[in-house]
Structure 1
Amino acid sequence: MKEISPFALGATLYMPATRSDILDVVYGRKLAELRSLVVCLEDAVAEIDVETALSNLQLLLQAIDQQGGRPQAGPLLFVRPRDAAMATRLNDWALMKHVDGFVVPKLTLHNLTAWEHAVTNPQLFLMPTLETADVYNPGAMVELGQALKANLDQRIIALRIGGNDLMGCLGLRRNPLTTLYNTPMSYVIPMLAGIMGAQGFALTAPVCEQLESPDLLREELELDIAHGLVGKTAIHPCQISIIQETLRVSLDDLNSAKLIVNDVAPAVFRHNDAMCEPATHFKWALNILERAKWHGVKPADAAGAEQPMRLAEAMR
């Protein structure tokens, strides 16, 4: 089975399966910068449109098949089934070979077995979404994480945090002037980052639903990154470039990471007026290098650009 880095997800755009332009996105004729795409058969599709959406998905996959498969440089492609029963139906489609995996909606410990039985195709990765009331219970999240590790560990790319649904559990909607971190998500996101992150799962960030507030999106993204989240759901194409740009790594972080993973790095050293301790910071450094691989490095500010530095100099 191939591997997919969670850092490859970047900005993830959901598109209703009823849309007629999905093939153009898959082939980069539209939204060429998009890194990952989810064709949604769940919340974005009304009940009366489900069969039409399924037919449209089948036509999409047939068109991809007729063109010899997806382009190598195109976005990752996922499908979000409505429930485990629909996933069972899709699992047996031969054309699912053109899909990277399923986004699992509203995963809980109680429906996990149903999803395990539904998605038996070993080539399909999974991205479960945490968006139900039991997400507020740390004990339930410990149990869910353990169950996922036991049965599906190698197939899970990342866990997705469904911020709007989680707010909806409390009858809340964010203030349009503040980030999610000024809501009860300020408890949920750090808790999930700790509990699920400590078990080895990558997590992606919820949408920012304010389309006319790019500065708010950037502020929220910085907080997402500070909590170790590896990508973010885009609610509209106008958010894609902002997400991709913010996910780029600073030159300072890149240089620090390279020094930390160096084979001759001492146990503790100083770099740019900060203590570096490879035994503690090694995993952080690997994540920085992986993020830089997929998203690149932010251009250095001309006034504050670093001078080239040899490893020995940095460790003095």
Structure 2
Amino acid sequence: MKVLSPYALGATLYMPATRADLLDVVFRTKLPELRSLVVCLEDAVAEIDVDTALRNLNGLLTAINERGGRPSDGPLLFVRPRDSVMAAVLNDWPLMAHIDGFVVPKLTLRNLGEWEQAVTNPALYLMPTLETTDVFNPGAMVELGQALKGNLNQRIIALRIGGNDLMGSLGLRRNPATTLYSTPMGYVIPMLAGVMGSLGFALTAPVFEQLATPHLLMEELELDIAHGMVGKTAIHPSQISTIQDTLRVSLEDLNCAKMIVSDVAPAVFKHNDAMCEPATHYKWAVNILERAEWHGVRQADVGPIEAPIRLAEAAR
């Protein structure tokens, strides 16, 4: 099984499986900047259109196969089945070899077994979506996280937070003048970052559904990153570049991360007027370096790298 970094996801765009331009996106003649694509057979497809969507998906995979496979520089490609029954059928399609994995909708501890039985192809990654009322219960999330780690750990590239479904379960919709963190998601996202993050799972952030306030999207992205989110679902192609540009790391963080992972790093040192302690900051540094590998560095003035100063020496 090839290794996929969760930072490779970047902005993830969902497109209904009924779309006629899916092949153009896969082969980068359309939306060449996109990092990950989900072909949706669930919420984005009406019940009466399911058969049409499945035929279109099969046509997409056939076309990919006829071209000798997907391009190496194209977006990661996932399919979101409608349910575990549909997933079991798709799991056995030989042409699913051209898919990176499944997005699992509405995963709970109760239906986890059904999904495990449905998706037996070990070459398919999984991105479970946390979007049911169970998500508001930290205890339920601990149980689910432990079950996922025990059974599917190596196949999960990231967990997706379904913000709209979670808000909908409360009968709410975000105020267009605020970020999602000013809603009950301001509790849910940090809680999931702690519970699932401590178990080693990467998480992606919910959509920002307002297209008229890009400044709020950037504000929300900064909060996403501060909570350890590795990517974000895009609701529209116009959001792709904003999401992926914001995922770039600062030069200051990159230089600091390099110092922390260095074999000759002091046990504690000062860099840019902040304490750095490799024993506690090492994982952060590794994540920064991996994020920089996939998204690059933000444009900034490049100055000399400050030499590390041992805090004990600085106090003399």
TM-score, structure 1 normalization: 0.97
Report the alpha carbon displacement of residue 191 of structure 1 after superposing the two structures with TM.
Answer: 0.3
Report the alpha carbon displacement of residue 307 of structure 1 after superposing the two structures with TM.
Answer: 1.7
Aligned to 1:81: 81
Establish whether residue 105 from structure 1 lines up as the match of residue 102 from structure 2. Answer: no
The letter for the 1-side match of 2:84 is: A
1:47-98 Cα shifts (integer Å, max 9, x gaps): 0000000000000000000000000000000000000000000000000000
The answer to whether the Cα contact below 8 Å between 2:269 and 2:308 also exists between their aligned partners in 1 is no
Aligned to 1:296: 296
SS at match of 1:126: strand
1:235-276 Cα shifts (integer Å, max 9, x gaps): 000000000100000000000000000001111000000000
Change (3 A) 1:53 1:81: same
SS at match of 2:15: strand
The letter for the 1-side match of 2:117 is: H
SS at match of 1:209: coil
CA RMSD across the alignment: 1.3
Report the alpha carbon displacement of residue 313 of structure 1 after superposing the two structures with TM.
Answer: 9.6
Distance (Å, rounded) in 2 between the aligned partners of 1:28 and 1:193? 33
Aligned to 1:263: 263
The letter for the 2-side match of 1:198 is: S
The letter for the 1-side match of 2:263 is: D
Distance (Å, rounded) in 2 between the aligned partners of 1:213 and 1:93? 42
Distance (Å, rounded) in 2 between the aligned partners of 1:306 and 1:18? 51
Spell out the pairing of 1:1-316 with structure 2 (5 A cutoff): 1-301=1-301, 305-310=302-307
Report how many residues are paired: 313
Report the alpha carbon displacement of residue 306 of structure 1 after superposing the two structures with TM.
Answer: 2.4
Distance (Å, rounded) in 2 between the aligned partners of 1:113 and 1:280? 36
SS at match of 2:95: helix
Distance (Å, rounded) in 2 between the aligned partners of 1:12 and 1:18? 18
1:82-132 Cα shifts (integer Å, max 9, x gaps): 000000000000000000000000000000000000000000000000000
Report the alpha carbon displacement of residue 213 of structure 1 after superposing the two structures with TM.
Answer: 1.1
Report the alpha carbon displacement of residue 308 of structure 1 after superposing the two structures with TM.
Answer: 3.7
Distance (Å, rounded) in 1 between the aligned partners of 2:197 and 2:58? 36
List runs of 5+ in structure 2 lacking aligned partners.
none
List runs of 5+ in structure 1 lacking aligned partners.
none
TM-score, structure 2 normalization: 0.97
The answer to whether the Cα contact below 8 Å between 2:88 and 2:118 also exists between their aligned partners in 1 is yes
Structure 1 outlier segments of 4+, above 3 Å? 308-316
Identity %: 76
Distance (Å, rounded) in 2 between the aligned partners of 1:202 and 1:178? 25
Distance (Å, rounded) in 1 between the aligned partners of 2:124 and 2:156? 9
Distance (Å, rounded) in 2 between the aligned partners of 1:308 and 1:3? 33
The letter for the 2-side match of 1:279 is: A
The answer to whether the Cα contact below 8 Å between 2:255 and 2:305 also exists between their aligned partners in 1 is no
